[in-house]
Amino acid sequence: MKKLTVFAALLTTLVLPGIGLTKSVGGVALQDSLPAKGISMALSGAGIRSKYFIKLYVGSLYSAASPISADAVLNGDRPSAIRLNIISDKITSDKMIETIEEGFRKSAGADLQKLRPEIDDFMALFKGKIVEGDQFTMVSLPGVGVEAYKNNQLLNTIEGDDFRKALFGIWLGGDPADAKLKSAMLGQ
């Protein structure tokens, strides 16, 4: 009977959302969900972004969309968030800006110059010193734009759905920065 009680307690901690074990990726403990404008976004998945065999950050996707897909996040009407947890001391402000710019070139394509003012506003998020342990969260609000946070502090709101789609397309678009990370973020 004692073993059954222990098993039931363990099962409860694994099944009930928001209770029990937190998923960990690359040494980063991930929350089960994030709030956005009164709506709970569930953790879809997470993975590690590596470049030249260096683990740079843990990228995680939270979404209120169901079922979850890249199209639902990019074109749907439910909030989503991408969170980047820096896990390398090799990331500098300049390197982060360069990497995000490269992502925008691929994601925005012909709309890059049209979106330049919004992109420049967004890039200010990475102009300060970046250290291992920093956390960047981009909350996608369809019909509004993107709220950009550093270490849980709102730094900017960038308006526009075209910008929002281009930003999230860096990780979830047809030519993502890292295809393995995209799959992991989508929980695949």
pLDDT of residue 67: 85
Residue 11 belongs to a domain: no
- Classify residue 74 by burial, with Cβ atoms within 10 Å: 0-12, 13-18, 19+: buried
Q: Are 117 and 72 in contact (CB under 8 A)?
A: no
Q: Are 43 and 62 in contact (CB under 8 A)?
A: yes
pLDDT of residue 50: 85
Q: What is the pTM of this model?
A: 0.85
The residues near 69 (Cβ < 8 Å, ≥ 6 apart) are: 186
Mean pLDDT of 110-138: 95
pLDDT of 90 > 80? The answer is yes
Residue 6 belongs to a domain: no
Residue 13 belongs to a domain: no
Of residues 127 and 52, more confidence is placed in: 127
CA–CA distance, 11 with 20 (Å, rounded to integer): 10
CA–CA distance, 159 with 21 (Å, rounded to integer): 36
pLDDT of residue 18: 41
pLDDT of residue 36: 84
Mean per-residue pLDDT over the chain, rounded: 87
Of residues 67 and 170, more confidence is placed in: 170
Phi-psi map region of 53: left, alpha, beta (phi>0 left; psi -120 to 50 alpha): left
Residue 142 belongs to a domain: yes
Identity of the amino acid at 72 = A
Residue 66 belongs to a domain: yes
What range defines the domain where residue 142 resides?
23-185
Would the CA dihedral through 86, 92, 98, 104 be positive or negative? positive
Residue 7 belongs to a domain: no
Residue 97 belongs to a domain: yes
Residue 98 belongs to a domain: yes
Mean pLDDT of 171-181: 95
Q: Quick check: helix, strand or coil at residue 92?
A: coil
CA–CA distance, 172 with 61 (Å, rounded to integer): 10
Number of domains in the chain: 1
For residue 174, what are its two tokens? 């047809």
Q: CATH no. for residue 28?
A: 3.50.70.10
